[in-house]
Structure 1
Amino acid sequence: MAVYRKKIILQIIFLFIVVNVGYSQNSKSYFYENEFDFSLPLKGKWSMDFGFGNRGMFQERNAGKIVSGYQHEHLEMKHFTTYQASELIGISLGAQYRFRELFDSSKEDEFRLTEQVEIQSANSPLSHRFRLEQRFREHIIHRGRYDIAYSMPLNQYFSWTLGTEALYAISSQLKPEAEQRISLSLANSYFQDLELGLSLEYRMENYTRNLDHEFFIISGLTIDMGN
């Protein structure tokens, strides 16, 4: 089983490389993200999660040529309040604010509301997450998201997760957009109440009308303040 899992991970990494080399006529962008989160349990079945993060773009290419270099995209703050309705189901309400004008005066800051339902069993490697979002920026955008992920331990301290997420956005001022994301993540829980994570993510932006390829390297640190 361990050999089989390693083969899957290598195949996913190979897929990232193939997609990056191929589709040379489409726009391709390379990003990094850093995330810092901490979780705080409340009374009963309630909990709260807070997070800070930033995003930057290394490079953007079109038809194989560099069209823009490094630029910082945004800083963000986010918060989720979660009610654990049962052992399987968690219901959350979240708010998020992205500071974008600090780095590009042509862009507006974004405020986002999120309604979320997450289904996960301790006895199953699969998890499901459903989200509805309202994004307040130049235009109000409504977006639906469905994420399915498969997680397995590598050893006592390391685990990996393979996930894919489908997104669909609509707005009264813009045409609908569909997006698909594929991610491969590695997590380390060696330190008590502290988890370190590193992810590779590939995004197919607006693939029904004007396909763009985006590649992300995401690092994360999560602290559980329950103890």
Structure 2
Amino acid sequence: MSYIEKWPSFLFLFLFFGTIHAQDNLTGYWQPQFALNYDVTGIYSHNFSVANRNYIIEDSEVLLKTRQIDLVHFSTLKIKDNQSIALGIQYRFRNNFDGGDNELRLTQQYNVTSKPLSVRYGHRFRSEQRITESLTTHRFRYRFAVDFPLMGEKLDLGEPYFVGSFENLLSVAKGTSSQYDARLSGQIGWQLDHGLKLQAGVEYRMEEFTSGQPQNVVFLFTSAQLSL
């Protein structure tokens, strides 16, 4: 697949994101993140990351205010060349910033990929337990993702690539109604030397989309990933 053939899908995502400013109930965040990956063996690896979520639009006001800090760890085991399972643990520090609940999150994950040509397709299934002082929420997630180089058939150092995904989420908790969310994202990344990747992009989330007044959330993501 050539760069010209890939461009329409890439352009469509960003034109879509460009229309969300007209949505009601809009909240915007900027989330920088740093992640460290390293292989323990050929089939077992660790991932550590820290992310800082900041309000940039709240109640129609443009501002910059910290909402939370997340510390995350994943252990991943390859069960086939294109399949893996993973366990994750996350702690969210929120109470000191906007008064929300701190959260402990446990994650179980299965991931499968295929790459018939230059485009890689991925299917990710996750179950999560989001534990706060007052409530435990069980969440079930499915994500479909694609990624491909933007210049030629093969990704070389210094060249850009595109990552896009669509995800559906179901959250259930005792004594509350089920919540359905959807997410659509697109990011551009660069593979640099010494195992370093830089990525930037946007994500649109429609939260509680089966309710009478769904919430529209926009994320600006910037990240650095270092693989040892």
Report if TM-score (shorter chain) is over 0.5.
Answer: yes
Task: Determine if contact 1:27/1:60 at 8 Å carries over to the other structure.
Answer: no
- Counterpart of 2:88? 94
Change in CA separation of 1:44 and 1:16 when aligned onto 2, cut-off 3 Å: closer
CA RMSD between the two structures: 1.5
Q: CA deviation at 1:44?
A: 4.3
2:30 pairs, out of 29, 32, 54, with 32
Matches within 5 A, 1:12-51: 12-21=13-22, 23=23, 26-51=24-49
Q: Percent identity?
A: 25
Match of 1:114 among 107, 116, 123: 107
Aligned to 1:84: 78
Match of 1:192 in 2: 194
Q: Distance in 2 between matches of 1:72 and 1:44?
A: 38
Q: CA deviation at 1:40?
A: 1.4
Displacement, 1:103? 0.5
Aligned partner of 1:131 in structure 2 is: 126
Describe how 1:142-221 pairs up with structure 2 within 5 A. 142-155=138-151, 156=156, 157-209=159-211, 210-221=213-224
CA distance 1:44–1:188, change in 2 (3 Å):
closer
Rounded to whole Å, the distance in 1 between the matches of 2:41 and 2:164 is 32
Whether contact under 8 Å (1:77, 1:97) holds in the other structure is: yes
- Once the two structures are TM-superposed, the CA of residue 151 in structure 1 deviates from its matched residue by 1.0
The superposition leaves residues 56-102 of structure 1 with CA deviations (integer Å, 9 ceiling, x where unpaired) of 111124xxxx2684421101110001110011111000000000011
Question: Where do 5+ consecutive residues of structure 1 fail to align?
Answer: none
Give the whole-Å Cα distance in 1 for the aligned partners of 2:42 and 2:193. 26
Alignment of 1:1-12 (within 5 A): 1-12=2-13
What are the superposed Cα offsets for residues 5-38 of structure 1, whole Å, 9 maximum, x if unpaired? 22222221111122322x3xx3001101011111
- Paired positions, count: 217
d(CA) in 2 for partners of 1:19 and 1:166?
A: 19
Structure 1 outlier segments of 4+, above 2 Å = 66-71, 121-124
- Bigger drift between 129-138 and 114-123 goes to 114-123
Alignment partner of 1:103: what SS? helix
The 2-side partners of 1:108 and 1:28 are apart by 22
Tell me if structure 2 keeps the 8 A contact 1:87–1:121: no
Question: Bigger shift: 84-93 or 36-45?
Answer: 36-45
Instruction: Check conservation: 2:115, 2:121, Cα contact below 8 A.
Output: no
Deviation at 1:190, TM superposition (A): 2.3
User: CA separation of 1:43/1:103 partners in 2, compared to 1, >3 Å: closer, same or farther?
Assistant: same
Q: Secondary structure at the match of 1:14?
A: helix
Q: TM-score, normalised by structure 2?
A: 0.90
